[in-house]
Amino acid sequence: MRVLFFTGSPASYMAPPLLGVSQVNCGPDWPDRVVDGKVVSLKSPVGAYDVEPFVKRLPATQRPDVVVCLVDAARRNLPANLRAFRGPKVLLVADTHHLRAPISGMLQYATSEPYDRIIVLYDRHHLEFFRSAGLKNLFWFPGLTFPHSDDQVARARKSWELRSRQIAFVGQTGGLHPRRARLVGALAQAGLPVGAKQIPQREGLEFYGSSAIGLNVSLNGDLNLRVFEILASGAMLLTDQLAPSSGMDQLWSGNQLASYRSEPELLEAAAHYLKHPTEAAAIAKRGVTWLDQLFGEEKRRLAFEHIVFDGVPVPEFVLPPTKVKAWFADAPRQRDSAIKVYERVQELHRQQETVAIAIDAAVSKDAAEMLATLPRVSAASCFSSANDLAVVSGCTLDQVSLSQAARVWVVDAAQSSVAAALSAAGLQPIDREIGLFARDPQEIEEARLLHSACWRHLHAGDYARALELARATLAKDPKDVDALVTMADLALEACNRPLATKLLQTLRGIAPLDPRLQSLTADLTRGSYTPKLPQRLLNTARDLATKRDWKRAGVFVAKALELEPGLRGAYALFGRIHSELGNYQEAADTLLQALKQEDTADAWMGLGHILSKGRQNREAADAFRKALVLAPVAIATIHAVADAAITIGDWKLHSDAVGMLRERDPLAPHSHFHFGHQLKHQRRIHDALRHHCRWCNAPEPRPVSTSSYRVLFVLQHPPFWPSLASVYAAFAADPACEVTVVALPYEHPYYAKPEERDAIYGFLDKLEILYVRADQFRRAAGCADIAFVQSPYEVTRPSGWKISDLLRFAPRLVYVPYALEIGGGEENLSLLFNQPLHQLAWMICARSPRHKTLFAQRCDVGDAHVEVTGHPKMDALRNLETARDAELDAFIGSRKAVLWNPQFDVRPGLSEFGTGFSTFLRWRSYLPEAFARRSEMAFILRPHPLFFASLEKRGVASAAEIADFLRRCEAAGNIHLDRRPSYLPAFAASTALMSDASSFLLEYGATGRPILYLHNPDGPGLNHDGDFVRDYCATATTESEIEAFLDDVAAARDARGAERRAAYHEFMHVPAEGVGQLIKETVEERLAAEHAERTSEAVTVLA
């Protein structure tokens, strides 16, 4: 399954989970990055944006089966126009437990896009909000975002005897996490060994894995990812108890973890399990067992697939039954108000240890149920001055009992009827729409914004602005903890130890348990203080790099290195910046400098990729080998080296990597994939097939006898039919072959209309060929022995019919190229010779030895699976006269006819030709006029099938402009627009061809008639077989060259005709028995050889 994953988080903070075999990550902090020809990540804007351009930017081999959008309350990632993607669309709901309007904002977004599945991750207690909003297809999958591989988990787990007897915590403990800061500080104050770090996720997993106890303190009643990381690490999980609606009790019976409800319970539990390590180890072991049974890497992916494609939830995560009546079902406006009030109470819950709420008996029970989803809400029916919130009904409002309440929510009364009474009690409206009142609401909000800005400037290294904001805050509140921390930090940076000492003393009197106080005190008491500015500048550079602001990032990292030349990590980042700016030599030099500081596998991998970009393949291979030496057991590194080795064509390196994979991870799918490639490169086709089948979980290919076998033809697109017509006829005529035709829609991005995508059905009906529609075909494993596949482009096939799917039910894939590839350019050559089908096919049919050589040069696995058979299109051209069309012949009459074939790759550029294969931009005005002047001749306009759609999609011409062009052609009187399903009638009727870089140039050569190549001097040009055109055909880039060619056609002159016809056989093998028949014979020869090989193996085993 290929996944396009949209996220608002960078990999350095919350790495995305790997949900598919192939995954492209997109987000505002991800760069546009291509590695070894494959898109790894794409940068998206902050906020709302259209997903369609991102889907279209992916090459055919990476077009997604599913789009997954991880959206949280930060609203940095709001993908839109999901309707443009026809496959499954999945919304992952995250972090609705904090930030501004997290639930109401999420509901507004979720109801605005057509998601097929909505998966709540860690806030199951908010489920009823989604149900009450009418959202369906809801699922719960806590831990789905677990980013660590099985290999990383295994390496992180230390044996119990080697673990430190400490309580490990990884995460933030700053201003947004006051309860967490209090509890971590309380453990330290009690003298318990607690280690709190803010480190990357992988390091965090290892930190837990080396500790006896892992502490979790939820941010705000959420079942977070940390829970699963601690369980995975093998540490005993000590976590806060959540509300029943969180699902916590559903997952764990209680003996896989330890929990606490308050600070005293935490201190008691922590001390107990530190004193009783055997008991802690037993709990940790049960936690590991639970996680391993449910959360293996492959199990997570398969469970996610079941949700996506089948709508089947994970049994352990089944949601509770839908309520008979949703919250506030009878009063939608009250429901909307209730959500906004809940969000404010939730924010209060984040800040305070407990939230005391008094609820009037006259208030709907829905309000009480809703507020009870927060674990530390203390609800009562009596009102007092201790109430953080009083929930009342307008009809029972008692201003005396509410006179000391901090906040009042009037659930069901209009503002006007209660405002005066509440104002007299010192309460002012916070939000006039929802009936919520409070004391001094504005002051709290202003302080929060000031703290946020101060912290941001401090950590960006902008000390002057941070100091200014801290002073402004202290002017309003001399006891503000965040401002005092900032001032103390800046005093230490300025080496003003007396001022730092004074500020820390003040902090001890106000917030003795704040963990930042402990850190700053440690800095002060050290013999020498290390300034933080270089690291902060480096962090700012990293942040800019995630936003692809490479130049500014380079400025900040240069400043950091100027202050601290040996700053760890700075040279590695500088190297990446140089690479992204195209300065490959500087990037390599800088990374070599980084390697002097940190000799790691990741650094050598980075250097290898940069060297390969600079085409220094030998040096790149050396770098990759060093990565293998440094990380001989890191499966991810070995896989990356294997991929890179294929790209640079170093099969010795690839063999080494594959050997390591087979030794360390022999059953992993990707190990089979790489070993299959290695075997195919060694020309061991059948052995390669076995391993490629194991890669995609397909059954072992069964031995096939040529006396009886099953052949599948997978057809999608009528214009491609000539490439398989004679092949189908040859197999269908043999009673030993059970032939089945499956018709699939052609899901090309440029085909927006159903009649375009589904044209294959009517086409086959007209030919009276029996077929099965894709949605009616039973795709059983091993249901066919061989499958002929019409298109190499994964994007055109619907879900369930990708190459990995085809291998499961027809392991021997045969590909006959749909066109006679002649276009050049690196991108085009990769599309035509190095797609998954090209690599995984059992047999590819080449038109000539020259064509086979192109596969040897361009396909990752070489040409061992390529057979020279000729091309089936030649069979149709043998009987070209039978393809004549009476209407077309009548239009031409006795005139000489020239066929004009514009290619669809129209790309505007600086020149009048543009930069694509097509020359239409240059000739769209001139040629219709030139044709009209030659009334004694006829012209057939037959553009590529995607031509007009491409003009519109790429913004080259509007529908009105295209219509105007066609009207001009029709007005000429001698130009015929040919839109027949087959181009053969145009071949038969024409006297000569004028074509852009298109397969027509080679195919029309079989007619022996004159050919003019319309060359684009700014385009990609022709490939190796372009020699036929360059050496034996006319070429035009000017009007005079076109006029000269038309003059020759009119006068029946063809100076190079005899030479061209004689040379054609060098470029096209044309067997006497016909190409379709030769392909059938070649298939049977391979089947027989394979059967003999299997028989020999069996005899050897018996012997």
pLDDT at 425 over 80: no
Q: pLDDT at position 227, please? A: 97
Are 858 and 725 part of one and the same domain?
A: yes
Q: pLDDT at position 62, please? A: 87
Helices (H) and strands (E) in the chain, counts: 48, 34
| Residue 828: inside a domain | yes
Are 936 and 949 part of one and the same domain?
A: yes
Rounded Cα gap, residues 939 and 582, in angstroms: 47
| Residue 1000: inside a domain | yes
Which among 530, 556, 581 is the end of a domain? 530
Rounded Cα gap, residues 683 and 645, in angstroms: 18
Q: pLDDT at position 543, please? A: 77
| Residue 557: inside a domain | no
Tell me the sheet residues that pair with 22.
2
Residue pair 816/723 in contact (Cβ under 8 Å)? The answer is yes
Are 430 and 450 part of one and the same domain?
A: no
pLDDT at 437 over 60: yes
Give the tens place of pLDDT for each residue, 273-282.
999 999 999 9
Q: pLDDT at position 451, please? A: 64
Model confidence band, residue 136 (pLDDT cutoffs 50, 70, 90): confident
Instruction: Report CA Rg, the chain.
Output: 35
Burial code (b: 16+ CB inside 10 Å, e: under 16) for 821-846 equals bbbbbeebbbbbbbbbbbbbbbbbbb
Domain residues for the domain of 977 are 876-1067
The DSSP H or E segment spanning 712 is strand 709-715
For residues 381 and 373, which has the higher predicted lDDT (pLDDT)?
373
Q: What type of residue is 859?
A: C
| Residue 801: inside a domain | yes
Residue pair 773/761 in contact (Cβ under 8 Å)? The answer is yes
Residue pair 1060/1067 in contact (Cβ under 8 Å)? The answer is no
Are 722 and 812 part of one and the same domain?
A: yes
CATH number of the domain encompassing residue 769: 3.40.50.2000
Arithmetic mean of pLDDT, 114-128: 95
Q: pLDDT at position 826, please? A: 78
Residue pair 790/837 in contact (Cβ under 8 Å)? The answer is no
Give the tens place of pLDDT for each residue, 541-553.
887 886 778 888 8
Are 889 and 840 part of one and the same domain?
A: no
Are 738 and 836 part of one and the same domain?
A: yes
Rounded Cα gap, residues 501 and 480, in angstroms: 17
| Residue 167: inside a domain | yes
Number of domains in the chain: 6
Rounded Cα gap, residues 834 and 847, in angstroms: 17
Q: pLDDT at position 411, please? A: 83
How much of the chain, in percent, has pLDDT values that exceed 70? 94
| Residue 550: inside a domain | no
Residue pair 47/54 in contact (Cβ under 8 Å)? The answer is no
Arithmetic mean of pLDDT, 280-291: 95
Give the tens place of pLDDT for each residue, 685-717.
988 998 888 888 888 888 888 889 999 999 999
Closest CA to 180 of 163, 201, 162, 196: 196
Which among 105, 140, 175 is the end of a domain? 140
Arithmetic mean of pLDDT, 1041-1064: 96
Highest mean pLDDT range out of 316-325, 590-599, 923-932?
923-932
Average pLDDT in the chain? 87
Which among 387, 422, 439 is the end of a domain? 439
pLDDT at 479 over 90: no
Rounded Cα gap, residues 1083 and 710, in angstroms: 12
How much of the chain, in percent, has pLDDT values that exceed 90? 47
pTM listed for this prediction: 0.53
Q: pLDDT at position 694, please? A: 86
The DSSP H or E segment spanning 713 is strand 709-715
Model confidence band, residue 172 (pLDDT cutoffs 50, 70, 90): confident
Model confidence band, residue 1102 (pLDDT cutoffs 50, 70, 90): very low
Are 105 and 42 part of one and the same domain?
A: yes
Are 375 and 480 part of one and the same domain?
A: no
Q: pLDDT at position 643, please? A: 76
Q: pLDDT at position 1053, please? A: 96
Rounded Cα gap, residues 206 and 217, in angstroms: 19
pLDDT at 238 over 80: yes
pLDDT at 186 over 60: yes
Token pair 């950091």 in the structure block, residue: 560
Q: In this structure, what token pair is assigned to residue 663?
A: 């030794």
SS3 of 113-154? CCCCEEEECCCHHHHHHHHHCCCCCEEECCCCCCCCCHHHHH
Are 271 and 395 part of one and the same domain?
A: no
Arithmetic mean of pLDDT, 1093-1100: 59
| Residue 535: inside a domain | no
> In whole angstroms, how far apart are CA 528 and each of 138, 497, 524, 531, 564?
56, 11, 8, 10, 15
Rounded Cα gap, residues 950 and 375, in angstroms: 57
Are 1059 and 981 part of one and the same domain?
A: yes
Q: pLDDT at position 258, please? A: 95
Q: pLDDT at position 846, please? A: 97
Q: pLDDT at position 927, please? A: 95
Are 128 and 257 part of one and the same domain?
A: no
pLDDT at 1099 over 50: no
> In whole angstroms, how far apart are CA 391 and each of 330, 371, 541?
19, 10, 48
Phi-psi category of residue 247: left, alpha or beta, with phi > 0 → left and psi -120 to 50 → alpha: left
Q: pLDDT at position 294, please? A: 85
Alpha-carbon 476 to chain mean position: 47
Phi-psi category of residue 396: left, alpha or beta, with phi > 0 → left and psi -120 to 50 → alpha: alpha
Rounded Cα gap, residues 899 and 139, in angstroms: 57
Are 129 and 158 part of one and the same domain?
A: no
Q: pLDDT at position 400, please? A: 42
Q: Where are the beta strands (DSSP E) in 935-1063?
A: 937-941, 975-977, 992-995, 1011-1014, 1034-1036
pLDDT at 1078 over 90: yes
Model confidence band, residue 309 (pLDDT cutoffs 50, 70, 90): confident
Q: pLDDT at position 453, please? A: 75
| Residue 645: inside a domain | no
Give the tens place of pLDDT for each residue, 898-932.
999 999 989 887 678 988 899 999 999 999 999 99
Rounded Cα gap, residues 995 and 1003, in angstroms: 11
